[in-house]
Chains A and B, each alone.
Chain A
């Protein structure tokens, strides 16, 4: 017992002596990542982490982040938000007040980004959510930004695309009423469609609840409604079920989706049933060129699969952060001042050349950027079809 105590004491003293000294370390720039590493959507968390680690590897290879004339090393603080709102708030509080990070990237889903944004804004810490499409995330919050377009933009984009491409007049919508993203987007789409084709042109507006697996009654109604196209802004697992069930019922109308289709799993689960369908998203992996292709190739080589939109958006968010810090000119070391500087630099970014398209930030923290319409090819790849800009 006493011997053990001596050993522990000796260890403590030794490690204290051997530990590196304070003046040997350069003050690092700390970046917080708030991601759902566990919980409902771990794949999203994984994509976030991998993109962040790739970005850090780049910075390390360059010898640090250059601000003014000095190069600073970068530290990533990756926190798990368990895909829960309260955990995202705790993680943000920890990152801001305990780890004292300069910028936070994340959380991805709106249900975590909305409350976490409140914390970041209260503490005057710039936060950029790569994936959250809910308008509330950035509304009245000068310190909160996002890296993607919003649902009120995506809804009209799809309505216009269907009208121009197919010339249809009657649409049906099938969505999950219990999940905020599909519900919001379904409503925005309906609004935009009825603006184009008059009241009542959405002939079926059918809903279901999360984790439902049988959609036959809704699909029957849709078939009998005389709709020419079905819009379903669902996540990959539901997309596969809906499309397959629609096909087995002999529903011939095209099915159109939104950026939540963008996961690699969609085609995996859905198979040939999904070939030839269209959806709107942030970027198209197949046939990508330039920096986008370089990113996709690198990611695929390192982690073994083609990155989905979360990875690409996180990468862009980190690059945005990087360019904001660089254009800050000088870091004072006083965290409040530096945060403010980064915030102002972010709000001023014009025509940022990201791998998910060009971005220009507005003072509200939302980027003006184009959406991409993707067609699922006969080989199951996401092919670029056209790009729609605001």
Chain B
């Protein structure tokens, strides 16, 4: 902006203010409907747009992958150039110039994402403020179960149509939802209860093997367990049972370690739980009946997107209710001062035990889903690396917060998928981000925030008032 043109400056500020104001008036319903419109648009016109923009294919994962690929190309090229220039100064001959990757995707991908996602969502959201708020208001007057289910169906539709376009998107989405469940269940222990537990991959492994054994014994012709006991069409009906069995096995494991370890405090739980992780791993490695180190394969293909979505929603719902209940508040009290909580008639031992088993249960269910998405489990998967991953998601997103866990799990999953092209440097970038978060927000991005579904879904504007 030039200083002799103050009107344009003012104009611009007012415009920005207006846009911000209008965006703040859009209810969640508006955004969801906008997203639905966007994915339908992509479904219908995506291929034409890909052709018109002369792209290779639809950008998956919102184009981040393609952009990362181009960035990598330029960085690597840049490095080569530096080497060449260095050689030139050292007396070598100049050879080679920076070339553009063929085909160079970034601008086209950006345009695609802008046209397909950004524009429809923003336009739809801002243009339908009044009707969307009116509808949100009507929905909020219904019983909350009905309106929430309505919203969830809408959300699922968006995900389904989006994931329908390539199996890779569906796979990434399912793994992300499972990561959300895992992160949330660890947050119950590490965040809400304030203990540092390292046994989460162990619970996950117990759940994965528990659920796999049930489904493989019942529905798969397997060389370890023999022929299927039940016909295949019953499998979807038994799958919830298998997952609950997995969760129960994990809870039982949690009980075994809780009894001795809750006599100790702080660091000792961390050490004991770490030991538990290794015990579980060695146990499975030496159990020939479930395949030992070779792993167990042959799980039927049961963990489709709707199934994973339903379980993820169930998990978020129950954990959110749990941490907002009296028991959850008691848990926070125990974390802040166990002695004081005890004096205030909180049964600290029982509270801690319940929360620990509860967290382990959901980790087990997530493990069961994981095994059925992968359709193969081996003990090596559930080692220290998995632990580091889950812990990173919890601490990145934020302690003591359902919001935070969702944000942490989604962002780390998305990042680790999108930064694939950087290979080794991916493991520099993500930890670096984590360090930055720890420095500037020591408790994570969104910590200590309550997740109140009703306030999230409520209309952002009184329908009677003027826009």
Contacts and interface: CB of A to CB of B under 8 A. Distances in A.
A246 B60 CA distance: 54
B317 interface: no
A178 B376 contact: no
A16 B108 CA distance: 7
Nearest to B110: A12
A118 B377 CA distance: 13
Contact of B167 (A12, A21, A93, A136): A93
Interface stretch (A81-89, A222-230, A380-388): A81-89
Contacts of B167: 93, 96-97, 123
Nearest to A115: B376
Contacts of A86: 175, 370, 374, 381
B103 A20 contact: yes
B294 A180 contact: yes
A387 to B, nearest CB: 29
A86 B201 CA distance: 14
Interface residues of B, number: 46
Interface string B165-191: 011100110010000000000000000
A69 interface: no
Interface string A115-138: 100100001000000000010100
B107 A20 contact: no
B424 to A, nearest CB: 5
B423 A80 contact: yes
Interface string B405-435: 0000000000001001001101100000000
Given A19-B108, A38-B423, A90-B171, A183 B292 contact: yes
Contact of B294 (A15, A22, A123, A183): A183
Interface in A197-223: 209
Contact of B297 (A79, A97, A136): A136
Contacts of A165: none
A136 B102 contact: no
Nearest to B386: A84
B282 A16 contact: no
Interface in A71-122: 79-80, 84-86, 89-91, 93-94, 96-100, 110-111, 114-115, 118
B320 to A, nearest CB: 27
B103 A98 contact: no
Contacts of A22: 51, 54
A209 B175 contact: no
B65 to A, nearest CB: 8
B111 A84 contact: no
Given A15-B104, A86-B175, A184 B166 contact: no
A97 B375 CA distance: 18
Interface in B38-58: 51, 53-54, 57
Nearest to B221: A140
A42 B427 CA distance: 13
A37 B420 CA distance: 11
A322 B110 CA distance: 36
B54 A19 contact: yes
Interface in A1-57: 1-2, 11-12, 15-16, 19-22, 25, 37-38, 42
A80 B166 contact: no
A16 B375 contact: no
A118 B166 contact: no
A84 B381 contact: yes
Given A25-B102, A38-B423, A118-B375, 13 more contacts: A16-B53, A19-B103, A85-B295, A85-B377, A86-B374, A90-B171, A93-B167, A94-B168, A111-B380, A118-B376, A134-B294, A178-B379, A180-B293
Interface of B: 1, 12, 51, 53-54, 57, 60, 102-104, 106-108, 110-111, 166-168, 171-172, 175, 281-282, 285-286, 292-295, 297, 370, 374-381, 385, 417, 420, 423-424, 426-427
5 contacts: A38-B424, A90-B168, A90-B175, A98-B168, A178-B379
CB-based closest 10 A-B pairs: A115-B376, A97-B167, A180-B294, A98-B168, A180-B293, A15-B107, A178-B285, A12-B107, A93-B171, A94-B168
